[in-house]
Amino acid sequence: MAKNTKSEKTPEQQLLLAQVKQIAEGLAQTFAPFTEVVVHDLLDPAHAVLAVHNNLSGRQIGHPATELGLARIMDPAYEQIIANYPNQFADGRQAKSTSIGIKDSAGRYVAALCMNIDLTLFQSFQSAMNRFTAVEGSTPVKESLDPSGADAIRARIDAFAAKMAATPRSLKPQNRRALMQELKAAGLLDVRRAMDTIAAHLGVSRATVYSDAR
């Protein structure tokens, strides 16, 4: 059994562990109930689990370090951030995990902050959404519920805003005026209810759109 080094922690290491515990609690509250957040004390590998929030794995405080934790203990040069790797809970549920190693000023691993996301609910939700959004491809009927040309107007606005490194609703007045000239040159101002479509997409009034178009 690995030696318990709890009594040998320096003040710096104790402070790091205390701060990591605070970070873990904040993350757990933010991502509850789908994400388990675990703090590992790598200076006490025989009883490494220091805190468990949103317990999904069944681990308890005082449980020993995992293989990943032991690898960090053995090798200070071991990768500090391992993000989004596939994992599995004891009951077979699929998980996505991220492990962040915490070092002290001497470069020694003191702790690990680990997050384990239960993918079961998200996979079920994704399946439901795929079914809900599926359409029958065999029907010859073609229909658009959008006024003719409105999609083209919105696409041109989005492309213009992207060139400005902005969103349509954050365009400045001078940029909106340049946009209107571009839409006019493309013949898109002649589309039925063009001004209404432009105003809605830019988040401004029709009066503003008419003013920018002058």
User: Whose CA is closest to 7, among 38, 47, 39, 40?
Assistant: 47
Kindly state the tokens that stand for 140: 């010859």
pLDDT tens string 39-71: 999 999 999 999 999 999 999 999 999 999 999
In DSSP notation, 76-113 reads TTS-SEEEEEEEE-TTS-EEEEEEEEEE-TTS-EEEEE
Q: Which residue has the higher pLDDT, 3 or 119?
A: 119
Predicted TM-score (pTM) of the model is: 0.61
Q: Which residue has the higher pLDDT, 199 or 140?
A: 199
User: Whose CA is closest to 115, among 36, 172, 41?
Assistant: 36
Q: Predicted confidence band at 183 (pLDDT cuts at 50, 70, 90)? A: very high
Average pLDDT over the chain reads 88
The whole-number average pLDDT for the span 91-96 is 87
CATH superfamily placement of domain 6-121: PAS domain (3.30.450.20)
DSSP code for 147: P
Domain locations along the chain: 6-121, 150-213
| pLDDT on residue 142 | 54
